[in-house]
Structure 1
Amino acid sequence: MIASSVRMKRVRKKSHSGRPSTGQVRVIGGQWRGRKLPVSDALGLRPTTDRNKETLFNWLMHQTTDARCLDVFAGSGGLGIEALSRYAACCLFFEKDKEAARQLESNLATLNANGKVLQGDALALLGEQSGPFDIVFVDPPFKFDLVKPTLALIQQNNLVCAGSVIYLEQEPDAPLPELPGHWQVTKHKQSSGLQYLLIEVLPT
């Protein structure tokens, strides 16, 4: 478990790619509302839109304060940073791309945010963590069939508990994932090119 009372250490990794940041992600609520942060041009990076973030954090309105968060396929880190802006206690970010991870670490340092970035394969990193987390963001790259193994590893490694919620983004034509009996889809919306849902973990 990540102790929310302990300040997470941010380790800056030296970048050798030289790739510039070509976009921005905007914080839409909380203490850093309106801040624009640079985003790496990593191949396939797909930051969650402001509209979808607004919907998600309306769903999570009463759950972000003091929450321990995990952003599994962090990319720009927009979801985890948004949670930290809304007074989540801490957030752990997984990102495979070295340049995207470096940019995310830089953005967290700029905000003096209580977040930690682990650079590597998300599925491998899930097996190395101890939980539980209160909020887990699962926004994987599309077309790689990552939803099923990701949810399975979250369950197997006890990274959620009763009262935890999992936010999931997936392809618009993807079927709803098969879930354990005590996991329940409580919110489900679809927009152009995307469907997103909130899963609540119930007591067993």
Structure 2
Amino acid sequence: MNALGRIRIIGGSLRNSRVEVPEAPGLRPTPDRVRETLFNWLQPVIEGSRCLDLYAGTGALGLEALSRGAALVTFVERDAKLSAALKANLARLKVQAAVVGDDAARWLKAGGKPFDVVFMDPPFADNLWESAASALEAHGWLAPSAWIYVEAPKGSHLAVPDAWQVHRSGLAGEVAYTLYRRTPDDPLS
């Protein structure tokens, strides 16, 4: 494999495992420090959760979730080279997960069983955040109190569904990262 480098899983049962990162235009693996922060935030809910790594790329976020006890992770990645590398890394690490080699927008339209945690880090140049957020809501992909992690360019103002409330956020260089908590409509209002 022509590799750009490797990333390291930073916590859980796969801690310190190295994952091959193939070359791909626009690929930005989430840095160790940001993943550490994110999974500290998610620590109370990640074990036993159903997770979706949308626009998976290297799969760093979904792999970290598996390492920390997620019950299920589905990776969606349209780039065939990245999907193949992800499958190879899963096999080498001896962990089970579904890898969907499809365009995320097309895949989301099908609808499916809700996820507890969604990682959404699309290629920045494609400007897919708002359409993906709408599709997650419209097609039943989110559990009532789901957690949604989003990476976007620093300074961007994303219109997210009303049910998504900012839980925590931070900056890493030119990247803003936000963890949202989905709050279902109040049945008494």
Report the TM-score when normalising by structure 1: 0.87
Q: Please give the root-mean-square deviation of Cα atoms over the aligned residues, in Å.
A: 1.1
Matched, 1:86 2:63: no
Provide the secondary structure at the position in 1 that maps to 2:125.
Answer: coil
State the identity as a percent: 38
User: What is aligned with 1:8?
Assistant: none
Aligned equivalent of 1:141, options 123, 131, 138: 123
Aligned equivalent of 1:182, options 152, 163, 172: 163
Asked if 2 retains the 8 angstrom alpha-carbon contact of 1:39 and 1:76, the reply is yes
Distance 1:182 1:122 in 2: 21
Structure 1: runs of 5 or more not aligned? 1-18
Asked if 1 retains the 8 angstrom alpha-carbon contact of 2:6 and 2:20, the reply is yes
Instruction: Report the structure, 1 or 2, having the larger helix content.
Output: 2
Provide the secondary structure at the position in 1 that maps to 2:87.
Answer: helix
Q: How do residues 1-204 of structure 1 correspond to structure 2 at under 5 angstroms?
A: 20-175=2-157, 177-204=158-185
Distance 1:201 1:70 in 2: 15
Distance apart, 1:178 and its partner CA? 2.2
Asked if 2 retains the 8 angstrom alpha-carbon contact of 1:183 and 1:201, the reply is yes
Asked if 2 retains the 8 angstrom alpha-carbon contact of 1:89 and 1:114, the reply is no
The number of equivalent residue pairs is 185
Structure 2: runs of 5 or more not aligned? none
Instruction: Report the structure, 1 or 2, having the larger strand content.
Output: 2
Deviations 1:13-66 (A, max 9, x none): xxxxxx512311110000010011111112221100001001100110111101
Report the TM-score when normalising by structure 2: 0.94
